[in-house]
Amino acid sequence: MSQRQVLQGVISLLRPLLLDVVPTIQHTAALALGRLANYSDDLAEAVVKGDILPQLVYSLAEQNRFYKKAAAFVLRAVGKHSPQRAQAIVDCGALDALVICLEDFDPGVKEAAAWALGYISRHNAELSQAVVDEGAVPLLVLCIQEPEIALKRISASALSDISKHSPELAQTVVDAGAIAHLAQTILNPDAKLKQQVLSALSQISKHSVDLAEMVVEAEIFPVVLTCLKDKDEYVKKNACTLIREIAKHTPELSQLIVNTGGVAAVTDCIGTCKGNTRLPGIMMLGYVAAHSENLAMAVIISKGVPQLSICLSEEPEDHIKAAAAWALGQIGRHTSEHARAVAVTNALPVLLSLYMSTESSEDLQMKCKKAIKSILQKCTYLPALEPFLYDAPPNILKHVLGQFSKV
């Protein structure tokens, strides 16, 4: 008998215990099923096929708070694995029962329900819409206002999972008054709560100019800049992501970030961290610089170019190098002054070597090639161009010779 068959046998033995007359046995059986379902998709599937979900849904409405928490845990454990498992939970009518649990007197029951709803929502827009249609969003916004930190965290996380899929879903979260309560929570000392709040605001901001402006109007600047100095790496990363999602939309929003000291703060943040934590900050500098000459100059004045050059040289991951190359190209493409600011950091030879390296990914080679061309077409600083006369391939050399002929 295979391990899977044994575990399926255990699940079938646990099912009747959910109906036991002794509450402790019911509760323990539900916890055991939750742990099994949490372990793997195969076991979650076995729980679905064992016809256990309808019994759990019925119990969510009828039983005590300990059992409700355990039942919501099983639903969360099943729903986390795939859209198919989450859909099975929706199909058995669980959403209505979980939303009712968000109004429960016990914070632990609310937390367990919010967790399950978040795990269902994260898969796709259809599942998120089903959660929204049951009226979960206003209750999740109320949960953010509760005093319990764990409940605040999970509610913010669920709102983030709902908001991420489409502008319409994000608008639903905004219409429920979420932005003001999320913005007020940025200064909470709990790092995990800040992570979730910053993530939720990022997911709302990313979809459109209007949504980004609503987030800005909640006066998140300059408060959010304090998160860039946080001890927690994920708080830093999520704060950079939020600023990036706002900056990418319009020159006006980028200018607002510059005016509040956001570009300098992000540049400093990039200098204090490594790896993927740097990535949203690198991209944010690129987005700001892409909008206009003046905004690109603001990145230069904030010492963004040396930091990007360091990332290009230091970072082992190709996708981070590619982001740095793209950002440098966005800065250097405007005028000869912008191009010189990039050239004097010795970034051009590094871009060339990465472009020519057989070990570089295709995306990195392409980003380096585009950046080199963009910068060279504006660069009149001859000392930076001379090394290219000896090392550059013909498709790059023609741009170098073009600049020499201009000078």
Residues 6+ apart with CB under 8 A from 170: 163, 164, 203, 204, 207, 211
Of 119, 140, 161, the position where a domain reaches its end is: 140
Mean pLDDT over 340-348 rounds to 83
**Model pLDDT, residue 83:** 86
| HSE-up of residue 128 (Cα within 13 Å, Cβ side) | 21
Q: Is 150 a residue whose pLDDT tops 90?
A: yes
Q: Say yes or no: 185 and 131 in one domain.
A: no
Of 71-85, 153-167, 236-250, least confident by mean pLDDT is 71-85
Split at pLDDT 50, 70, 90, the class of 182 is: very high
Burial-class residue 382 by CB neighbours within 10 Å (0-12, 13-18, 19+): exposed
Q: Does residue 204 share a domain with residue 55? A: no
Tell whether the model's pLDDT for residue 405 goes beyond 60.
no
Residues 252 and 358 in one domain: yes
Closest to 42 measured CA to CA, from 8, 89, 72, 65 = 8
CA atoms within 13 A on the CB side of 244: 24
Q: How many CA atoms lie within 13 A of 236 on its CB side?
A: 23
Mean pLDDT, rounded, of the chain: 84
Q: Is the dihedral of CA 226, 161, 106, 19 positive or negative?
A: negative
Looking at the fold, whether 128 and 267 belong to one and the same domain comes out as no
Q: Let me know whether 184 and 136 are in one domain.
A: no
Whether residues 184 and 125 fall in one domain: no
| 89: CATH | 1.25.10.10
Same domain? For 394 and 303 the reply is yes
DSSP 398: H
Structure tokens at 302: 């904030």
Tell me if 230 is assigned to some domain.
yes
Confidence of residue 359 (pLDDT cuts 50, 70, 90): confident
Cβ neighbours of residue 71 under 8 Å, at least 6 residues apart? 30, 56, 57, 59, 60, 63
Contact (Cβ atoms closer than 8 angstroms) between residue 229 and residue 269: yes
Tally the C-alpha atoms within 13 A of residue 138's C-alpha that lie toward its C-beta.
Answer: 7
Residue 126: which pLDDT band, with cuts at 50, 70 and 90? very high
Flag whether pLDDT at 388 surpasses 80: no
Residue 25 has pLDDT above 80, yes or no: no
Last residue of a domain, one of 140, 161, 190: 140
**103 falls in which pLDDT band (50, 70, 90)?**
confident
Q: How many domains would you assign to the chain?
A: 2
pLDDT: which is higher, 68 or 290: 290
Has residue 145 been placed in a domain?
no
* Stronger pLDDT, 9 or 346, i.e. the higher one: 346
Q: What is the mean pLDDT of residues 253-265?
A: 92
69/120 Cα distance (integer angstroms): 16
Q: What is the pLDDT of residue 279?
A: 92
Examine the pLDDT at 38 and tell me if it is beyond 80: no
**195 in the same domain as 84:** no
Would you say residue 397 lies in a domain? yes
Whether 75 and 207 share a structural domain:
no
Residue 167 maps to a domain? no
Q: Is the pLDDT of residue 197 over 90?
A: yes
Residue with tokens 């871009």: 351
Task: Note whether residue 157 is domain-resident.
Answer: no
**Mean pLDDT to the nearest integer, 170-196:** 92
Least confident stretch, 120-124, 378-382, 384-388: 384-388
Q: Are 189 and 232 in contact (CB under 8 A)?
A: no
136 lies in the same domain as 228: no
* Same domain membership, residue 202 and residue 327: yes
Residue 346 lies in a domain: yes
Q: Cα(262)–Cα(244) distance, rounded to whole angstroms?
A: 10
pLDDT of 234 reads 92
Whether 48 shows a pLDDT value over 90: the answer reads no
Q: How far apart are CA 3 and CA 11, in angstroms?
A: 12
Mean pLDDT highest for which of 285-294, 308-317, 356-365? Answer: 285-294
250 belongs to a structural domain:
yes
For residues 77 and 212, state if they share a domain.
Answer: no
Report yes or no: 210 and 185 within 8 Å, Cβ to Cβ.
Answer: no
What confidence score (pLDDT) does residue 342 get?
85
Between 349 and 166, name the one with better pLDDT.
166
| Residue 159 resides in a domain | no
- Which domain-ending residue is among 108, 123, 140? 140
Task: Please provide the distance, in angstroms rounded to a whole number, between the alpha carbons at the two ends of the chain.
Answer: 80
With 90 as the cut, is the pLDDT of residue 339 above it?
Answer: no
Average pLDDT over residues 346-363: 83
Q: Are 146 and 109 in contact (CB under 8 A)?
A: no
Q: Which structure tokens are listed for 272?
A: 């204090």
Which pLDDT belongs to residue 3? 57
Between 1 and 181, name the one with better pLDDT.
181
Asked if the model's pLDDT at residue 308 lies above 80, the reply is yes
Q: Which domain holds residue 8?
A: 1-140
| pLDDT (tens digit per residue) in 89-99 | 888 888 888 89
Q: Is the pLDDT reported for residue 26 higher than 90?
A: no
pTM of the predicted protein model:
0.86
C-alpha triplet 371, 275, 301: angle, nearest 5°: 50
**Mean pLDDT computed over 266-290:** 91
